[in-house]
Structure 1
Amino acid sequence: MFKLISQRVALGLLTLLLASALIFLGVEALPGDLASKLLANNATPENLAALRLELGLDRPMLVRYWEWLSHMLQGDFGASLSNKRAIIGDLGPRALNTFFLATYAAVIAVPLAVALGIIAAIRQGGIFDRLVNVVTLFSISVPEFFIGYVLVMLLAVKIRLFPVLSNVTPDTDFAQRLYLTFLPMATMVMVVVAHMMRMTRASVLAVMASPYIEMAILKGLPKWRIVVQHALPNALAPILNVVALNLAYLIVGVVVVEVVFVYPGMGQWIVDSVSKKDLPVVQACGMIFAAVFISLNILADVLAIISNPRLRHPR
C-alpha cells in the first residue's frame, strides 16, 4: 500500500509541476505586450524599456519561469502590479474566505447527498427516487451562475430572506458570515449534491445485486438495515472517490459563484486581476487552485486504495 500511495503522490507532484508550466505559459501566451498595456498612454520607448527591466521581461522565458517557481516554492508569490503590495498579504484573507465557503458547502452537501442516495436506493423505483433523480439531473444540467441568479431572484429579491451580495469582512462574526454566505453556499450545494447522490445510489444498487444481499433479503431483514449495514460498507470506495473529487470542485469551482455574489474570495480576485492585467496575482491564484485540486485528487486515489482491497492487491 505504501508503494501505491507513494506512486500517487509522485504523480501528483509531477502533475503540479506540469500545471505550473501551463499556468506560466498560458500567461505568457496572452496577446499583446504587458508593459505596453500597463503604461497605456505613457508608453514611451524609455518607459517601456524601464518597465520591462523592472518586471524582468527582458530575460529569457525559461529563466523567468525558474525564478517564479523557485520563489513560489519558498512562499514568495511576488508583488501585485496594481497596488505594488506583496501578494501573500492579500492572499491570506481571500483564501480563508474561499475555503470557508467551500467548507460550509461541503458540511451541508456530503451528508445530504449520502442520505438522499441511500434513501433513493432503499425506495428504488418509487416516487421519492424518481423525484430526486429528476431534480439532481436538472441541477447537473444547469450552470452554476443560472442557479445562483434563480436563488437571488427567489430568496433575495422576491422573498427578501437573504442579501443579494455576500459582503463579508474580517470583522464579520461567524453567525453573520453563515447568513451572508447562505446563497452562494446553496448554489454550490445544489451542484455537487447531484453528483454525489447519484453515485451513492448507483454504488449501493450495484452491491444490492450481490448474492449475500439476496441471502439477507431471504432471511427477512428490513431493507433499510440491509442497505445501511451490509450494502453501504461495500459501496464506500466509489462514494469516497466521488466525494473527494467534488470537494476539489468546491475549491476550484467557486470562481463563477463568487463573481455572481461579489464574494471577496480568490475567485473574485482572479477575475478582477484578469481585467486589470495583474498577471502575478493570476499566476498565484492559479497555482493555489491547481495545488488544492491535485491534492484532493490524490486524496481520492488514496481513499480508493485503502477502501478497496482489489486496488491494494492487483492481479
Structure 2
Amino acid sequence: MRFITSSVLLLSSLLALPAVADEGQVLLQRLANAERTQSFQGTFVYERNGSFSTHSIWHHVKDDGMVRERLLQLDGAAQEVLRVDGQVHCASAALAEQVVDSQLWPARALDAEQLSQWYELRVLGQSRVAGRATDVLALVPRDQHRYGIELHLDQQTGLPLKSLLVNDKGQLLERFQFTQLQVGAPATANLEASVECRAVSVLPVQAKISNAWQSDWLPPGFSLSTTTQRISPASDEPVACQVYDDGLARFSVFIEPLRGEPVEDARTQLGPTVAVSRRLKTAEGDVMVTVVGEIPLGTAERVALSMRASNEAAQ
C-alpha cells in the first residue's frame, strides 16, 4: 500500500506541512476498519526495484466477519494467492515458498495510538486515485529503524487506493496503486482458487524451538509476535522462525542448523526487502541466523548480530 508524484515531492511535503495527529489517527482507524468491513474488487499496479506488475484482487467480507481474498497476477504466468482471514491457504507453485511467511503475519487491527509512538501522523491534503477522491496520510518514522509510508485513502470507504514506501533519503522503495476499484461483494466464482494453486501450510511450533533463541537488541517499538518452524528446502531440517513487529512494519528471524555446510555471511536488498545472514557458533554447532523484512539494512544487520541462544544470552 504505497505512492505520490515523486519521492522529492513527498519528502518536501513531509518537511513543510504541520502534523495533524488527531485527524491522522482518525484516518488510520478508518483504514484499519475498512479492510475488515468492506467488500471490493479491482485492479492495481505494483512497483518494486524498477519492476512493475499488474494484479486483480477480489476481497469479500462475510456476514460473520470472515475475510476471503484472492489475488491474481495478470502479467506473465498467472500467479495467484488465496487468503482466508489473513492466512494463506494456497499459492501458485512459483509463489508457494515465497508467501508461506505471510502466514506468520496474521491480520491485525492497526492501533493508531500505538503507531503514533513510532510514526508521526501527518495529513497532507487530498488527491484522486482511480477516479475516486482520497485523503493523503503520511506516517513519518520517529527514528532510523523503519521506513516512511504515504497512504491515499478512499474518502468513501477508507480503503488504501495508493501508497508508497520511502527511505530516510526520500527514495521510493515500493509503490502500490489501484487503477480500478468496485465496491461490493465479488462474484463467488472469482473467489475460488484455480487447480494450479498449491496448498500452503506452516508446521506447528515446538516449545523447545520457540524458547531457544532471543535477541539482545530490538529496534524501539518492535516485539516478538509469532514463533513457528519450517522445513528448510535445502536441508530438510526444522527451521525456527520468529516474527517481530511494531504494529505496522514486520521482520522475520530464521535460525537454521548448518550441519557443517560451508555457508558464508551475506546481505542483500531488493526494493524495501532486506535479507541479512550471519553464521553463529553455538555449543550444539554452527547455525545461520537470517533476518528478512521491510526494514532498513542497518537495522536488520544489528538484529542479526544480536541473536543469541537463550542459554548463552542468560550467562
TM-score (normalizing by structure 1) = 0.22
**TM-score, normalised on structure 2?**
0.22
**Structure with the bigger percentage of strand:** 2
Structure number with larger C-alpha Rg: 1
Q: More relative contact order in 1 or in 2 (CA 8 Å, sep 6+)?
A: 1
| Structure with the higher fraction of residues in helix conformation | 1
